[in-house]
């Protein structure tokens, strides 16, 4: 895992800058510190019942990225995780389904990170990614924070979404 980070940190740094620029342009609620959203923290704090059955416990944060033809040409970026899709759901009020991804090495490397990718209704070129990452000890790992924060969008997850987007756009073009 660590070797992967070293291998990628150069490109990740530029990705981070790009992501921040995109976030500024989008006026997204993205926090520079990559902290979990306050509303979610509040929700988690309220939930002090049966610990074993708790859901939505992991620290999480969202990021938004506009997918452009340029970013497509740049190829895929890896965020340090290998993501595997485990579900997709139609979300009430959302135009596009939400996809659910988890770390491929969940069992072999105790990697319990998950993320959700949701296309924006207003702008289908924007993908909102919500990351839930933590180390097995329950303490956030710095690499996890940075890697998930910096470039979660062109991993296989986003690539898959892009394929979907491309297909949708092709259909739209055909219909027009």
Q: Applying CB under 7 A, which residues contact DNA?
A: 43, 46-47, 50, 53-56, 82-94, 98-100, 102, 104, 114, 116, 132, 156, 160
Report the C-alpha gap between 79 and 159 in whole angstroms: 13
Q: Let me know: does 61 contact 34? Beta carbons within 8 Å.
A: yes
Q: Let me know: does 85 contact 100? Beta carbons within 8 Å.
A: yes
Question: Minimum distance from CB of 138 to DNA (Å)?
Answer: 16
- Read off the tokens for 164: 């979907």
What DSSP character marks residue 61? E
Question: Minimum distance from CB of 168 to DNA (Å)?
Answer: 13
Question: Minimum distance from CB of 110 to DNA (Å)?
Answer: 14
Report the C-alpha gap between 69 and 173 in whole angstroms: 16
Report the C-alpha gap between 41 and 4 in whole angstroms: 30
CB nearer DNA, residue 13 or residue 94: 94
CB nearer DNA, residue 8 or residue 161: 161
Residues 6+ apart with CB under 8 A from 41: none
Instruction: With CA atoms as reference, report the closest residue to 161 among 79, 83, 93.
Output: 83
Question: Minimum distance from CB of 36 to DNA (Å)?
Answer: 14
Question: Minimum distance from CB of 51 to DNA (Å)?
Answer: 9
CB nearer DNA, residue 101 or residue 149: 101
């Amino acid at each position: 895992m660590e070797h992967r980070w070293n291998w990628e940190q150069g490109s990740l740094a530029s990705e981070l800058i790009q992501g921040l620029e995109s976030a500024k342009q989008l006026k997204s609620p993205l926090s520079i510190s990559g902290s979990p959203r306050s509303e979610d923290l509040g929700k988690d704090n309220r939930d002090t019942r049966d610990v074993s059955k708790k859901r939505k416990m992991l620290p999480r944060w969202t990021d938004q990225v506009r997918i452009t033809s340029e970013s497509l040409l740049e190829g895929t970026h890896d965020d340090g995780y290998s993501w595997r899709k485990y579900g997709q759901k139609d979300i009430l009020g959302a135009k596009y389904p939400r996809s659910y991804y988890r770390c491929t090495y969940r069992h072999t490397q105790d990697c319990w990170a998950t993320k959700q990718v949701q296309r924006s209704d207003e702008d289908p070129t924007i993908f909102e990614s919500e990351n839930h990452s933590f180390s097995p000890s329950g303490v956030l790992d710095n690499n996890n924070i940075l890697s998930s924060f910096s470039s979660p969008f062109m991993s296989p997850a986003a690539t898959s979404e892009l394929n979907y987007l491309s297909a949708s756009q092709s259909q739209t073009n055909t219909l027009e």
